[in-house]
Homo-oligomer: A and B are copies of this chain.
Amino acid sequence: MDTLHRGKQSIIFPERPVLSAWASVVGKMEGEGPLGKAYDRVVQDGKFGEKTWEQAETKFQQTALELILQKAGLERNKLDLVFSGDLLNQCVGSSFALRWTGLPALGLYGACSTMAEGLLLAGAAVNAGYAERVAALSSSHFAAAERQYRFPLAYGGQRTPTAQWTVTGAGAVLTVRNGKGPALTAATVGTVEDKGITDANNMGAAMAWAAYRTIRTHLEDLGRNAEDYDLIVTGDLGKLGSDLVREFFAGDGVDLGDRYTDCGVMIFDPTQQDVHCGGSGAGCSAAVLSADLLPSLMTGKYRRILFCGTGALLSPTTAQQNRSIPAVCHAVAIEKNI
């Protein structure tokens, strides 16, 4: 048995599990953003024909799952395993999406880092021979998140300048043992960091240190430099949080330059859309990965990227109890296959 552990927190996937299909299903506002034409489906109705926002979130996830099966030409019962999670209390977006599917399912909680965590575990499962075909799913919904984490929408609360906008949407990615597409080649599991930030409307800042730590550890563990990646992309730090990541690296003498961006920055246009610091939510990085990053690995725009999911691990209860905001970041290296 080989040891696939590298350095402090990283693992490698010598079998190069393949990402053979991916899909994104988003809401109206995301469809009006810079990546609007790239999503598989833009749903105009925030309730997606359902009675509640929570049920709509489930339908977003179900639709993304069905789309990857269609794209891969796969019967549902040929999937060996699903990793999924979301931001709703008790992850009900995911659990309800999977009932009656008969699919073996492991639930994750990584807040907005869920897609990266799912890909890490999907890659690990396929690389080890535990499964041939594994799906990773995650979702979020602006309206369901607002009422759960903040205020009822009808209250019309004023948003602070550092606030981010929870993405309505879901992403799904299929990882397989044999197929065509970009390959998962390594991953780094994050540690739970907490720098004492207590402002639940400034989650980008709370997550930035976790992102910096994981990216730096990944590079150290694998003996790489930032230049070994065409793109390092965090999940949903937004403008403020991603500026902080740049600053932390600058403190190490590393200028990330154009090599670094953030899905929360990419998903909305701040000059046209009133989103303050950018997008957030477990659906944010999942949708951008599927709509933009993986297609860019197919066209050759990128040869190797580091996809870094970022999650703020607070709850409304911990915020009310004035506790600070723990955060985590998990990273997966994805490469264009030759």
- Residue numbers of A with Cβ under 8 A of B are 1-5, 8-9, 11, 15, 51-52, 54-55, 80-81, 85, 87-92, 94-96, 98-111, 117, 120-121, 124-125, 127-132, 148, 189-194, 313-318, 321, 323, 326, 328, 330
Contacts and interface: CB of A to CB of B under 8 A. Distances in A.
A121 B130 CA distance: 11
A4 B1 CA distance: 13
B99 A330 contact: no
6 contacts: A4-B129, A98-B192, A99-B193, A105-B190, A107-B110, A128-B130
Contacts of A193: 99
A90 B92 contact: no
A117 B106 contact: yes
A234 to B, nearest CB: 18
| Copies of this chain per assembly | 2
A85 B109 contact: yes
Contact of A90 (B3, B108, B109, B194): B109
Contact of A108 (B98, B106, B129, B317): B106
A127 B5 CA distance: 12
B5 A313 contact: no
Contacts of A326: 95-96, 98-99
Given A54-B321, A129-B1, A328 B105 contact: yes
Given A51-B321, A89-B315, A107-B110, 7 more contacts: A1-B128, A5-B131, A5-B132, A9-B104, A54-B317, A92-B318, A124-B125
Contacts of A91: 109, 313
Top 3 nearest A-B pairs (CB, nearest first) are A128-B128, A95-B313, A104-B189
A106 B189 contact: yes
Task: Pick the most buried of A104, A105, A193: most chain B CB atoms within 10 A of its CB.
Answer: A104
Contacts of A108: 106-109
